[in-house]
Amino acid sequence: MKFIHLFSAVVGLIVSSSAMGQSAKIELKWQEGKTYHTKQTVKMGMDMASAVTDTSMEITSAGKAAAHKKGTGVSSSVSRVKMHIIGGGQEMTYDSSKKEGNDARLAVEMDKLLKMQFTAVYDKAGKFLEVEGIPKEQQNLPGMSKKELESNITQQVALLPNREVKVGDTWLSKVTSPLPGMNKELHITYDVNLDEIVVENGRKIAKMSFTGKMADTKVTQQGIDMMIKATDLSGTIHFDVELGQLRKSAMNMNLTVTPDGAAGKVIMKMKVGSELLKVE
C-alpha cells in the first residue's frame, strides 16, 4: 500500500472532427462556486519472486472552487474509496459506500483517507501555488502531508504547457516526487507532444501524449540499500480547452527495485488514471 502513495486508463470518445495546424491555449481555469468531481484510479501488479500481488484502487473526490487572496482556492474532500488486493493466497476488498463486507485491515487505512481535507491554491493565471488547510491529525499520515500533497498536485498539472500551443508542438517538463519515509526524491523528465485538437460531444479537446525518463535512484530502507529504476513510462492527456480542465489522463510505468547484495528484486507494473466526472 505504501507504493500507491508514490505515484499518482483512458478510453477515447468518438471523434467528430480533427484538424492539423490548429492551436489552443492549454492552461487551468477554475470557476468560483463550481464543484469539480473527479475519479482517480491506480492498478498495480507487484512481482516479488515467490509472491505476486495485484492491487486496484479508486478514489472519488470533489473540489469546490472559491475566491482566495492569491487567486482561487479549491477545497477538496474524498467521497468514496474502493480497494481490492489479491496476493499471498488472500483477497481483501474495501468499498466505503458499503457498510458490510469490508476487510477490517484495509478499513483502518482507507477510513483515514475518507477524512482527507485540504485546499489547493492557484494564482489568477491558474498556476498551482501551494496546499493549505490540512487538519493537524492528517498531517502525519502517509501520502497526506503538505509536501506529498503538493507533489501529487504538481505532478498532475506539470505536463500542461500553460500557454498557446499548436498541433505538433513538443515541450519538456521536469517533476520531482518525494519518497515517504526515505528522505529521497524521484526525478522524472517528461517529453510532451500535442497530437491533435478534436471535437468530442461538442467539446474542444486537446489530446497530448508523453513519454518519461526517471533517473536511477538509490534508497535505504531498514538498513538495506536498494536501487529504483523505471522503464516504459508513457501516457496520454485529454484537456478540455474551454473548461480549462483535464478531462482524462492515463500513465503507465514499470518500476524495478533491486536490493544490493540480494538475489531477489521487486517488479511493479502500474497504471494510473484520472477522469473529470462532472462540474456543477
- Averaged in consecutive runs of 10 residues, what is the pLDDT profile of the chain (280 residues)? 34 30 88 96 85 90 96 95 89 92 89 89 92 84 79 87 95 85 82 96 95 91 85 95 96 89 81 95
As a whole number of angstroms, the distance between CA 100 and CA 94 comes to 9
Cell of 260: 544490493
Task: Provide the pLDDT for residue 182.
Answer: 66
Domain boundaries defined on the chain? 15-279
Residue 176: count of CB within 10 angstroms of its CB: 12
Residue 133: count of CB within 10 angstroms of its CB: 12
Which helix (DSSP H) or strand (DSSP E) does residue 93 occupy? Answer: strand 90-95
Kindly tell me the burial class for residue 22, based on how many C-beta atoms sit within 10 Å of its own C-beta (0-12, 13-18, 19 or more). middle
As a whole number of angstroms, the distance between CA 213 and CA 233 comes to 7
End-to-end, the C-alpha distance of the chain in Å comes to 33
**Phi first, then psi: what are they for 151, rounded to 5°?**
-65, -45
Task: Provide the pLDDT for residue 17.
Answer: 31
As a whole number of angstroms, the distance between CA 148 and CA 76 comes to 15
Q: Which of 253, 278, 277, 273 is nearest to 10 (CA)?
A: 273
Task: Provide the pLDDT for residue 131.
Answer: 94
SS3 assignment, position 88:
coil
Helices (H), 87-243: 104-114, 146-157
CA atoms within 13 Å, Cβ hemisphere of 86:
4
Q: Where are the beta strands (DSSP E) in 163-265?
A: 163-166, 170-179, 184-200, 203-214, 217-221, 224-240, 245-259
Task: Provide the pLDDT for residue 146.
Answer: 84
Q: Which of 81, 10, 88, 80 is nearest to 54 (CA)?
A: 88
Task: Provide the pLDDT for residue 219.
Answer: 86
Q: CATH fold of 15-279, please?
A: Lipovitellin-phosvitin complex; beta-sheet shell regions (2.30.230)
Counting every residue written for the chain, the total comes to 280
**Phi first, then psi: what are they for 101, rounded to 5°?**
90, 0
> Which DSSP category does 113 fall into?
H
